C-alpha cells in the first residue's frame, strides 16, 4: 500500500471536509455518558460484569436501524498499543480507555464520525464528531443512537437526577458539547487568554486538543460545557453554539485587523512557516504544530492559494506520534519521527 492510500485510509471523515465556519471551527463533538441499571460503574465492576456490559452492548447493536449497519465493535485488549494510541489521536477513544484496555472496547462507524466507548469511566460514552460548527447535527445523530440503544438497554436513570454517571459532574443529561477551534489571530494580537478566560465565567471549559489535562498546541483549543445537570440538551447545545459564534467573530475581527494593519508582518510569518514546512528535513511535533497553525492562518486568508486548507488541517492529525508510525509501518525512534514527520508534511503539501 503506497503512502497516499495509507493517508486516505487513516483520516477520519470529519477532517476530510470543511463544515460551516470551518476556517476557525475544525470540529463539533457531542458526547453522552450512559450506564446500565443494576451494574456497578466500571471502576468498581469486576471482570465478569465488565464482560456482560460488552456483551449486552454488542447484542443491542444487532438490531437493524439507520446509522447502525456500518458499526464495528473493537476490543481494546485485542489490538496492540500502537493501534490504541492511533484511536486516541483520532479522537475516537480517550487516554483513560488506553490505560485500562482489559474488558474495554469501542464501537466505530466506518467513517469514524460516530464512536461508542465501552467501560471507560461510564459503561457507555456515545460520541459523534462532524466538521465545522455542526453541533445541532451532531446532537441529532447522537440522540438517535442513544434512543436506539435505550430501546434495548436498561439505563440507570433517576426521575429527579436524570441519567446517573460515575462522576457527579456528568449526571443529569450526561451531555458534553464541545468544539475544536483554531485561534491564531487572537494569539497574535495578545487577546486569546482574555477571550478564553471570559468563557469560564459563563459556564464553559477551555482545554487542550485531547481534553482534560492536555495543553493547547498550535493555537487549537477545545471549548465545552461545564454543567450537565438542570438544563435540557437543547439548551446546552444552543449555549455552546451561541458562544462559539462569538469567539468565531472575535477571531475573524482579529484576522481582518492583521491583514489591514500588519499585512507585511503577517505575510512574513506565514511564508516563513511555509518555507520551513516545505523544505525542512527534521521537525519536532511541537514545532510542526505551530508552523502548521501559522500556515493555516495564511491559507485561510488567501495568502497562499497553492495550498488547500484541508491539507493543512489533515496534517494536524497525520504528524501525531502513533499515526505517523502507522503511516510508516513500524515503531520509530524520536529522531526518526522528526525525519518522517518532515517528509510527510512535504509530501502532503505538494
What are the pLDDT tens digits along the chain (350 aa)? 577 888 888 999 999 999 999 999 999 999 999 999 999 999 998 999 999 999 999 999 988 776 666 889 999 999 999 999 999 999 999 988 998 899 999 999 999 999 999 999 999 999 999 999 999 999 999 999 999 999 999 999 998 888 999 988 888 999 999 999 999 999 999 999 999 889 988 888 898 765 555 566 889 999 998 877 778 899 999 999 999 999 999 999 999 999 999 999 999 999 999 999 999 999 999 999 999 999 999 999 999 999 999 999 999 999 999 999 999 999 999 999 999 999 999 999 98
- 44 and 127 share one domain: yes
- What is the CB neighbour count within 10 angstroms for residue 47? 9
- 85 and 129 share one domain: yes
Rounded Cα–Cα distance for residues 84 and 88 (Å): 7
- 231 and 86 share one domain: yes
In a domain, 208, yes or no: no
In a domain, 107, yes or no: yes
- 291 and 235 share one domain: no
- 93 and 116 share one domain: yes
- 165 and 267 share one domain: no
- 236 and 304 share one domain: no
Rounded Cα–Cα distance for residues 111 and 72 (Å): 11
User: Domain with 174 in it: what CATH number?
Assistant: 3.30.590.10
Range of the domain at 292: 262-348
- 160 and 234 share one domain: yes
In a domain, 6, yes or no: no
* Cell output for 329: 509501518
Nearest Cα to Cα of residue 323 among 344, 292, 304: 344
In a domain, 195, yes or no: no
In a domain, 187, yes or no: no
In a domain, 207, yes or no: no
pTM, two decimal places: 0.92
* Structural domains counted in the chain: 2
- 278 and 243 share one domain: no
In a domain, 340, yes or no: yes
Contact yes or no for 132/25 (Cβ under 8 A): yes
Q: Is 338 helix (H, G, I), strand (E, B) or coil?
A: helix
- 272 and 154 share one domain: no
Give the pLDDT score at 321.
95
Amino acid at each position: 500500500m503506497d503512502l497516499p492510500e495509507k493517508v486516505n485510509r487513516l483520516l477520519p471523515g470529519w477532517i476530510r471536509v470543511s463544515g460551516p465556519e470551518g476556517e476557525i471551527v475544525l470540529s463539533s463533538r457531542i458526547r453522552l455518558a450512559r450506564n446500565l441499571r443494576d451494574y456497578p460503574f466500571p471502576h468498581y465492576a469486576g471482570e465478569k460484569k465488565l464482560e456482560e456490559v460488552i456483551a449486552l452492548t454488542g447484542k443491542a447493536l444487532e438490531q437493524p436501524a439507520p446509522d447502525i449497519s456500518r458499526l464495528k465493535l473493537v476490543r481494546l485488549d485485542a489490538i496492540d498499543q500502537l493501534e490504541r494510541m492511533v484511536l486516541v489521536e483520532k479522537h475516537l477513544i480517550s487516554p483513560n480507555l488506553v490505560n485500562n484496555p482489559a474488558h474495554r472496547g469501542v464501537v466505530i462507524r466506518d467513517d469514524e464520525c460516530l464512536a461508542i466507548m465501552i467501560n471507560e469511566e461510564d459503561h457507555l460514552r456515545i460520541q459523534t464528531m462532524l466538521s465545522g460548527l455542526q453541533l445541532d447535527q451532531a446532537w441529532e445523530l447522537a440522540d438517535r443512537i442513544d434512543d436506539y440503544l435505550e430501546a434495548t438497554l436498561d439505563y440507570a436513570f433517576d426521575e429527579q437526577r436524570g441519567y446517573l454517571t460515575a462522576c457527579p459532574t456528568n449526571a443529569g443529561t450526561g451531555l458534553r458539547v464541545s468544539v475544536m477551534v483554531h485561534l491564531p489571530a487572537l494569539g497574535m494580537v495578545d487577546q486569546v487568554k482574555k477571550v478564553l478566560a471570559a468563557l469560564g465565567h459563563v459556564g464553559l471549559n477551555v482545554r487542550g486538543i485531547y481534553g482534560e489535562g492536555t495543553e493547547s498546541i498550535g493555537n487549537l483549543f477545545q471549548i465545552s460545557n461545564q454543567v450537565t445537570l438542570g438544563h435540557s440538551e437543547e439548551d446546552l447545545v444552543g449555549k455552546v453554539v451561541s458562544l462559539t459564534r462569538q469567539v468565531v467573530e472575535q477571531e475573524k475581527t482579529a484576522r481582518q485587523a492583521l491583514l489591514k494593519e500588519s499585512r507585511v508582518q503577517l505575510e512574513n510569518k506565514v511564508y516563513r512557516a511555509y518555507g520551513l514546512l516545505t523544505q525542512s528535513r527534521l521537525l519536532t511535533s511541537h514545532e510542526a504544530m505551530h508552523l502548521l497553525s501559522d500556515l493555516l492562518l495564511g491559507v485561510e486568508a488567501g495568502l497562499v492559494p497553492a495550498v488547500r486548507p484541508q491539507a493543512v488541517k489533515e496534517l494536524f492529525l497525520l504528524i501525531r506520534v502513533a499515526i505517523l508510525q502507522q503511516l510508516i509501518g513500524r515503531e520509530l525512534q524520536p529522531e526518526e519521527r522528526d525525519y518522517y514527520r518532515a517528509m510527510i508534511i512535504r509530501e502532503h503539501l505538494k
